[in-house]
Structure 1
Amino acid sequence: MRLLICLAALVAVSYSEEPKHSPPKVQVYTTEPGEFGKANTLICHVSDFHPPDITIELLHDGTELPNAVQTDLAFRQGWRFHLTKSVAFSPERGQRYSCRVTHGTSRNDYAWEPNM
Protein backbone atom coordinates (compact mmCIF):
# COMPACT_ATOMS: atom_id res chain seq x y z
CA MET A 1 0.00 0.00 0.00
CA ARG A 2 2.82 2.40 0.90
CA LEU A 3 4.45 1.75 -2.46
CA LEU A 4 1.22 2.65 -4.24
CA ILE A 5 0.92 5.92 -2.28
CA CYS A 6 4.56 6.79 -3.03
CA LEU A 7 4.05 6.11 -6.74
CA ALA A 8 0.89 8.24 -6.79
CA ALA A 9 2.75 11.10 -5.07
CA LEU A 10 5.61 10.84 -7.56
CA VAL A 11 3.21 10.99 -10.50
CA ALA A 12 1.40 14.00 -8.99
CA VAL A 13 4.68 15.88 -8.48
CA SER A 14 5.89 15.15 -12.01
CA TYR A 15 2.64 16.48 -13.52
CA SER A 16 2.54 19.55 -11.31
CA GLU A 17 5.90 20.87 -12.51
CA GLU A 18 5.42 23.86 -14.78
CA PRO A 19 6.84 23.43 -18.30
CA LYS A 20 9.94 25.45 -19.11
CA HIS A 21 9.86 28.76 -20.94
CA SER A 22 9.29 28.27 -24.69
CA PRO A 23 9.42 31.24 -27.08
CA PRO A 24 6.55 31.52 -29.57
CA LYS A 25 6.63 30.48 -33.20
CA VAL A 26 5.07 33.29 -35.24
CA GLN A 27 3.46 33.22 -38.69
CA VAL A 28 2.16 36.39 -40.41
CA TYR A 29 0.01 35.88 -43.49
CA THR A 30 -3.21 36.88 -45.26
CA THR A 31 -6.33 34.94 -46.19
CA GLU A 32 -5.96 35.87 -49.86
CA PRO A 33 -2.85 36.50 -51.96
CA GLY A 34 -1.68 40.07 -51.34
CA GLU A 35 -2.86 42.69 -53.82
CA PHE A 36 -2.38 46.43 -53.25
CA GLY A 37 -5.66 48.25 -52.71
CA LYS A 38 -7.72 45.05 -52.39
CA ALA A 39 -9.51 44.10 -49.14
CA ASN A 40 -7.88 41.23 -47.29
CA THR A 41 -7.34 39.91 -43.75
CA LEU A 42 -4.00 40.14 -41.96
CA ILE A 43 -3.42 37.18 -39.63
CA CYS A 44 -0.82 36.58 -36.93
CA HIS A 45 -0.72 33.02 -35.60
CA VAL A 46 1.44 32.48 -32.51
CA SER A 47 2.05 28.91 -31.32
CA ASP A 48 4.06 26.55 -29.11
CA PHE A 49 4.76 29.08 -26.35
CA HIS A 50 4.83 28.85 -22.58
CA PRO A 51 3.99 30.52 -20.24
CA PRO A 52 0.73 31.96 -21.62
CA ASP A 53 1.66 35.56 -20.75
CA ILE A 54 1.61 37.03 -24.28
CA THR A 55 0.38 40.09 -26.20
CA ILE A 56 -0.18 40.30 -29.96
CA GLU A 57 -0.51 43.59 -31.84
CA LEU A 58 -1.21 43.97 -35.57
CA LEU A 59 0.53 47.10 -36.84
CA HIS A 60 0.43 49.44 -39.83
CA ASP A 61 3.63 51.49 -40.01
CA GLY A 62 4.13 50.94 -36.27
CA THR A 63 0.58 51.94 -35.23
CA GLU A 64 -1.84 49.32 -33.96
CA LEU A 65 -4.66 48.53 -36.39
CA PRO A 66 -8.13 48.99 -34.83
CA ASN A 67 -10.87 46.36 -34.69
CA ALA A 68 -8.58 43.32 -34.56
CA VAL A 69 -10.15 40.08 -33.34
CA GLN A 70 -8.31 37.54 -31.20
CA THR A 71 -9.14 33.89 -30.60
CA ASP A 72 -9.36 32.46 -27.11
CA LEU A 73 -6.09 31.19 -25.68
CA ALA A 74 -5.84 27.44 -26.28
CA PHE A 75 -3.26 24.80 -25.48
CA ARG A 76 -1.96 21.55 -26.82
CA GLN A 77 -0.26 18.59 -25.21
CA GLY A 78 2.63 19.63 -22.98
CA TRP A 79 0.99 22.96 -22.10
CA ARG A 80 2.18 24.68 -25.28
CA PHE A 81 -0.24 27.51 -26.03
CA HIS A 82 -1.48 29.00 -29.31
CA LEU A 83 -3.37 32.15 -30.23
CA THR A 84 -4.43 33.91 -33.44
CA LYS A 85 -5.21 37.57 -34.05
CA SER A 86 -6.61 38.98 -37.30
CA VAL A 87 -7.86 42.24 -38.80
CA ALA A 88 -9.42 43.37 -42.07
CA PHE A 89 -7.12 45.63 -44.10
CA SER A 90 -6.34 46.82 -47.62
CA PRO A 91 -2.58 46.83 -48.18
CA GLU A 92 -1.10 49.89 -49.86
CA ARG A 93 2.21 50.15 -51.71
CA GLY A 94 5.03 51.47 -49.50
CA GLN A 95 3.20 50.70 -46.25
CA ARG A 96 4.56 48.27 -43.66
CA TYR A 97 2.31 45.74 -41.95
CA SER A 98 3.57 43.62 -39.07
CA CYS A 99 2.77 41.60 -35.98
CA ARG A 100 4.35 42.57 -32.66
CA VAL A 101 4.55 39.78 -30.12
CA THR A 102 5.44 40.44 -26.49
CA HIS A 103 6.12 37.26 -24.53
CA GLY A 104 7.32 37.86 -20.99
CA THR A 105 10.14 40.39 -21.31
CA SER A 106 10.83 39.63 -24.99
CA ARG A 107 9.29 41.79 -27.75
CA ASN A 108 9.70 41.07 -31.47
CA ASP A 109 8.18 42.46 -34.67
CA TYR A 110 7.42 40.13 -37.57
CA ALA A 111 6.81 41.78 -40.95
CA TRP A 112 4.18 40.64 -43.40
CA GLU A 113 5.88 39.91 -46.71
CA PRO A 114 3.30 40.70 -49.41
CA ASN A 115 5.14 38.93 -52.28
CA MET A 116 3.57 41.34 -54.75
Structure 2
Amino acid sequence: MKAFVCAVVVGLLWLAALSTAKEASPKVQVYSRKPGEFGKPNTFICHVSGFHPPEIKIDLLSNGQEIPGAKQTDLAFEENWHYHLTRHVPFTPSSDAVFACRVTHLGNTKTYTWETDM
Protein backbone atom coordinates (compact mmCIF):
# COMPACT_ATOMS: atom_id res chain seq x y z
CA MET A 1 0.00 0.00 0.00
CA LYS A 2 2.83 2.38 0.88
CA ALA A 3 4.45 1.77 -2.54
CA PHE A 4 1.11 2.45 -4.26
CA VAL A 5 0.68 5.77 -2.45
CA CYS A 6 4.26 6.78 -3.36
CA ALA A 7 3.62 5.88 -7.02
CA VAL A 8 0.43 7.97 -7.06
CA VAL A 9 2.21 10.97 -5.50
CA VAL A 10 5.07 10.73 -8.02
CA GLY A 11 2.54 10.47 -10.87
CA LEU A 12 0.67 13.54 -9.66
CA LEU A 13 3.90 15.53 -9.34
CA TRP A 14 4.86 14.50 -12.87
CA LEU A 15 1.48 15.61 -14.23
CA ALA A 16 1.75 18.92 -12.38
CA ALA A 17 5.17 19.53 -13.91
CA LEU A 18 3.86 18.75 -17.39
CA SER A 19 0.94 21.12 -16.98
CA THR A 20 3.30 23.97 -16.05
CA ALA A 21 5.62 23.37 -19.03
CA LYS A 22 4.93 25.79 -21.85
CA GLU A 23 5.73 25.53 -25.53
CA ALA A 24 9.30 26.61 -26.19
CA SER A 25 11.16 26.91 -29.48
CA PRO A 26 14.48 25.09 -29.80
CA LYS A 27 17.87 26.76 -29.55
CA VAL A 28 20.16 25.28 -32.21
CA GLN A 29 23.96 25.07 -32.30
CA VAL A 30 25.69 23.75 -35.43
CA TYR A 31 29.40 22.96 -35.23
CA SER A 32 32.12 20.43 -36.02
CA ARG A 33 34.07 18.37 -33.51
CA LYS A 34 37.42 19.71 -34.76
CA PRO A 35 38.15 22.96 -36.58
CA GLY A 36 36.93 22.61 -40.17
CA GLU A 37 39.57 21.84 -42.79
CA PHE A 38 38.67 21.02 -46.38
CA GLY A 39 39.39 17.39 -47.20
CA LYS A 40 39.96 16.34 -43.56
CA PRO A 41 37.51 13.88 -41.91
CA ASN A 42 35.51 15.44 -39.07
CA THR A 43 32.19 15.11 -37.22
CA PHE A 44 29.22 17.36 -38.05
CA ILE A 45 27.12 18.11 -34.92
CA CYS A 46 23.73 19.71 -34.38
CA HIS A 47 22.77 20.32 -30.73
CA VAL A 48 19.16 21.32 -30.08
CA SER A 49 18.07 22.45 -26.60
CA GLY A 50 15.43 24.28 -24.59
CA PHE A 51 12.40 22.99 -26.50
CA HIS A 52 8.98 21.75 -25.40
CA PRO A 53 7.02 19.62 -26.26
CA PRO A 54 9.57 16.88 -26.98
CA GLU A 55 8.39 15.97 -30.50
CA ILE A 56 11.14 17.17 -32.83
CA LYS A 57 12.88 16.11 -36.05
CA ILE A 58 16.52 16.86 -36.82
CA ASP A 59 18.06 16.26 -40.26
CA LEU A 60 21.72 16.74 -41.15
CA LEU A 61 22.14 17.89 -44.74
CA SER A 62 24.83 18.19 -47.39
CA ASN A 63 23.76 20.41 -50.30
CA GLY A 64 20.13 19.99 -49.25
CA GLN A 65 20.23 16.16 -49.14
CA GLU A 66 20.06 14.19 -45.90
CA ILE A 67 23.43 12.70 -44.89
CA PRO A 68 23.07 8.94 -44.30
CA GLY A 69 24.34 7.27 -41.13
CA ALA A 70 23.60 10.07 -38.65
CA LYS A 71 23.25 9.07 -35.02
CA GLN A 72 21.28 10.76 -32.29
CA THR A 73 21.53 10.89 -28.50
CA ASP A 74 18.61 9.88 -26.31
CA LEU A 75 16.10 12.62 -25.58
CA ALA A 76 16.88 14.22 -22.21
CA PHE A 77 15.12 16.87 -20.16
CA GLU A 78 16.12 19.60 -17.76
CA GLU A 79 14.48 20.67 -14.47
CA ASN A 80 12.06 22.99 -16.28
CA TRP A 81 10.84 20.15 -18.56
CA HIS A 82 12.59 21.59 -21.59
CA TYR A 83 14.40 18.99 -23.66
CA HIS A 84 17.74 18.64 -25.44
CA LEU A 85 19.05 16.34 -28.15
CA THR A 86 22.20 16.04 -30.27
CA ARG A 87 22.54 14.54 -33.77
CA HIS A 88 25.92 13.90 -35.41
CA VAL A 89 27.51 12.27 -38.44
CA PRO A 90 31.03 11.82 -39.83
CA PHE A 91 31.72 14.19 -42.76
CA THR A 92 34.56 15.62 -44.80
CA PRO A 93 34.16 19.33 -45.53
CA SER A 94 34.74 20.53 -49.08
CA SER A 95 34.69 24.01 -50.59
CA ASP A 96 31.74 23.17 -52.85
CA ALA A 97 29.45 21.63 -50.18
CA VAL A 98 27.00 23.39 -47.86
CA PHE A 99 26.34 21.53 -44.61
CA ALA A 100 23.24 22.34 -42.58
CA CYS A 101 20.95 21.17 -39.79
CA ARG A 102 17.20 21.22 -40.47
CA VAL A 103 14.99 21.27 -37.35
CA THR A 104 11.22 20.74 -37.38
CA HIS A 105 9.33 21.51 -34.16
CA LEU A 106 5.61 22.26 -33.73
CA GLY A 107 5.21 22.30 -37.53
CA ASN A 108 7.89 24.98 -37.98
CA THR A 109 11.00 24.08 -39.98
CA LYS A 110 14.23 26.09 -39.87
CA THR A 111 17.59 25.36 -41.45
CA TYR A 112 20.89 26.32 -39.79
CA THR A 113 24.06 26.37 -41.90
CA TRP A 114 27.46 25.21 -40.61
CA GLU A 115 30.09 27.94 -40.88
CA THR A 116 33.59 26.65 -41.49
CA ASP A 117 36.46 27.97 -39.37
CA MET A 118 38.56 28.53 -42.51
Residue identity matched to 1:115? D
Deviations, residues 33-72 of structure 1 (Å, cap 9, x unaligned): 0000000000000000000010000000000000000000
State the distance in 2 between where 1:44 and 1:111 align: 10
State the distance in 1 between where 2:32 and 2:17 align: 38
Divergent runs of 4+, >3 A: 11-16
Deviations, residues 80-115 of structure 1 (Å, cap 9, x unaligned): 100000000001102100000000111000000002
- TM-score normalised by structure 2 residue count: 0.85
Residue identity matched to 1:35? E
Work out whether 1:59 is the aligned partner of 2:76. Answer: no
Which structure has the larger Rg? 1
Structure 2, unaligned runs of 5 or more: 1-8
- TM-score normalised by structure 1 residue count: 0.86
What is the 5 A alignment of 1:1-116? 14-116=16-118
Percent identity between the two aligned chains: 50
Q: How many residues align?
A: 107
Structure 1, unaligned runs of 5 or more: 1-7
State the distance in 2 between where 1:18 and 1:46 align: 21
